[in-house]
Structure 1
Amino acid sequence: MEDQKIRNMEEFSAVSGISRPTISKYFNDPSSVRKSTRERIEKAIARYGYRPNLFAINQNRKLTRNIGIIVPHIVDPFYAEIVRHIEMRCAEAGYWAIVLGSHGDPERELNALEMLYSLRIAGAIIAPLGDSSVSDRIRQVAADIPTVIFDNHMNGEEIFFGTDNFQSIGLMVDYLCRSGEPPCFLDMPAVNTNARERREAYIRAMEIEGHDPHVIPIQSTGWEFEELGHHAGLEILSARQLPWNTILCANDRLAIGLIAAAFERGLRVGRGAATALRIAGHDDHPMARFTAPALTTVAQDYVSIAENSVSTLFHMIEEGKRPLDPVRRLEGRLILRASA
């Protein structure tokens, strides 16, 4: 048998002379078996080169250690950073994170949900698409499996963690009005509930400041925000019909595209008499510090959103109880840099 490939635990048990339940117990938790038995198993592993299918072992448990994660776009830096923190916490707690993207498509979001459901996940952390999301199916999954929603709420009874857009946008509008001209608002495509909330928050904040809001719409449903900000910037800066030379962008990725457009139009961005335009954003994108000039923005608390989501999910899985405070909207933090 030493020259034969060991295909499963039954064969490994036969050649090693160790019972199948003991071997299974070892692979679930090596410290759960006696030291002498553990040494025998490890010696047999080295001798026969056996490696079990840990995923199959996990699936055969009464409760799997799989955590399903669905985000609209994994390449979006916001979602990538949240997923990174969740994956690390899952690994530390002995869970496997299974990450799927819906790619901004409701049908793909539904397919991702069904895939995770078929894998008998222990729990799910989901950033829904928003208004176009398959909300009813997400609620059905949440009724069967511990589920936490983050970033885009569904206006229901879901357990939710995300940024308070009215606080964060209001914070930026207040700063821009105090430090110079009031801002116009470069809207983001209606891809999720944040798009609507940030636009409404801007309008409300401008009215509080005593100014008429000026929203610059973007006619698109895509997620290529840098490209959209660049294209919109070339158009609006060429037309020179803005009421003020300050623009607040609904997210940093739009602002990055807008800064590039200003450079191409020969307009200097920043504070002071020698500048032609002030640009601010929202999110604190990882590249926001490295634009030229560095981008003034409102930082979302990536770590707190991820930590609240995963800690609450683990509590629901292990205790079987909903949190007493199921909705938490976290405040944004003003980050002042050279662009505004």
Structure 2
Amino acid sequence: MSFTSRFKKNAAKVGNGLLFAVALTTPVVLGVAFQAFSLVSAASFGAMFALLIAPRHGALARVVGISIGGLLVVLAAALGIALQGRHDLVLVLLFLLSWLAALPRPDQAYLGLMVKYVASSVLLTSFGFSATLPMALAFLGGIALGICLSLVSMLFEADDATTPLEEFKAFLHGATNGRLFGVAVPVTVLFSTLAARYFSFSDPAWVGLTVLFVMHSDGATELFRIWARTLGTLAGVLVSAVILYTVTAPLHIAVAIGLAAFGMPYAKGHYVLFSFAITCAVLLLIDISMFQMGGDMPLLRWRLIDTVIACACVLLSNLTLRLIRRLRHRGDPPAGQAA
């Protein structure tokens, strides 16, 4: 790689890091200024969602793609709230959404992330997460901030990705993961979530949410993600605990959030580092949102337990899929042998 290419690549990462830091810390500053701590995490998550899901293909694709994704997440949250207490309907809906989330291939980044976030929204709200109208508006405000920052990122990003419409057309024409994997994901999500609820976990929905983002169609990649997610989350929980134990002022915590956000573009492709950065940012944001209630230190311990259990469920599912594939191909002739 030439010096010019390396410089442009590093400049893009620095620029994206600064944009992520602005996206996650701006709502904190506004929340402190207006004493609206409970809305901080919703606004920051909206901005982060927008930057993560943004199609790298022109201004129109970014604005339309992010806007549609944000509206679908809010509508999914409203649907999850409406279905609270209707367990049979919730389970059917979660199965369908998890199945849809499993179908997009790794190269269909926008479509895959959008469906996963929609499924996560239904999962969290249907299992008791108390979303409100002000939180929805704060999330959409974060989406608007993220759109603006995504447009700024066009100054140093190359438009080298397919559009959401192209991904959707390929999806409709059969460019999906295998049917076996498509069934395995919703089964694993429901099994892990219901098991966590049966054993009275603090937040059963987090277990199923983790399964959605860890489970991968490539077995080798999935096995790597299991230990990488666990290790990165463990480090993130420990560092967050140290920060929250020693720092109490929201604006001081925002500095740590900004540093974690700045590292996200650098951590892409390094699953341990990305899990560490996003775990720190998410847990610190949630703690600020609960600032007027004294924070939520116990959440850190439960988040680690939830992640370990979810990764164990993914490992069990992965090994089961491998066994099924081996049994299905047991009678196949060896490669190169004449039929």
Return the TM-score normalized by structure 2.
0.25
More helix by share: 2
Return the TM-score normalized by structure 1.
0.25
Greater RCO (Cα-Cα under 8 Å, separation 6 or more):
2
